[in-house]
Amino acid sequence: MAVEDDTMPDKDSEQPDPGAPAMAAPPEGAAAGGGDEGPSQTVCFQVSRLSLLYRYLFLLVLTGLGVFLLSLLIPMAVSGRDYLIGALLVLWGFALLRYWAFLLSTPHRICLEENAVLVLHALFRTRKIECSEISAMRVSPIYQSYLRIVTSGKKTFPMLNHIDGLHDLIGRIKAINPDLETRGC
């Protein structure tokens, strides 16, 4: 009987195996149904990681260079009373702080919600713009890697131009707002 008991659990274990794919099929169908509902809800686009990494590394190098120059030149400026060097280092510091603040407030994820609202997610803040208020999307004339969203109230929102699916995002916004002017993108 011990042999029969060993074979019985094997037969029982074989029966759930054919049932397991049947159980696995509904979640796949549910995932497909969830995929159909996804486009009608919120669609998100990300800035490419390589572009963000490049900008953060560049800024870190500039910050490191500033700290190195600060450690070398401050003692010389204090001992020689050369206030020009100190003033230049202070300007360097303000410029770095400004660029850090700009980069950290630049959106790294853009979501288009179902109610035609464009949500710009940055590291420290989130901005919402209704698609009907967007009058133009233009490449920045000074630095080609930035895209500016211009609203009807003449507010501008800069963002990086290296967005995965940028043309799809612009097409979706144009479908909502046909009067959208695009230049350079």
Burial of 62 per CB tally in 10 Å (0-12, 13-18, 19+): middle
Residue 73 φ then ψ, to 5°: -90, -25
Token pair recorded at residue 131: 């698609």
pTM above 0.85, yes or no: no
Q: Report yes or no on 30 lying in a domain.
A: no
Task: Identify the pLDDT of residue 40.
Answer: 57
Tell whether 139 is covered by a domain: yes
Residue 175 in any domain: the answer is: yes
- Residue 119: predicted pLDDT: 92
Structural domain count, the chain: 1
Q: Say if residues 127 and 120 touch (Cβ distance below 8 Å).
A: yes
Domain residues for the domain of 172 are 44-185
Residue 59 lies in a domain: yes
Asked, for residue 82, whether it belongs to a domain, the answer is: yes
For residue 73, tell me if it sits in a domain.
yes
Best CA proximity match to 50, nearest among 122, 99, 108, 126? 108
- CATH code of 119's domain: 2.30.29
CB 143, CB 135: distance < 8 Å: no
Residue 164 lies in a domain: yes
d(CA 30, CA 26): 6
pLDDT of amino acid 7? 45
Burial 114-147 (b: 16+ CB within 10 A, else e): eeebbbbeeeeeeeebebebbeebbbeeeeeebb
pLDDT of 25-71, one tens digit each?
333 333 333 334 444 588 889 988 888 899 889 989 988 988 888 78
- Supply 67's token pair: 């700290």
pLDDT digits (tens, 9 = 90+) for 144-156: 788 888 888 888 8
**Position 184 in a domain:** yes
pLDDT digits (tens, 9 = 90+) for 59-117: 899 889 888 887 887 777 667 667 777 788 888 889 889 988 888 888 999 999 888 89
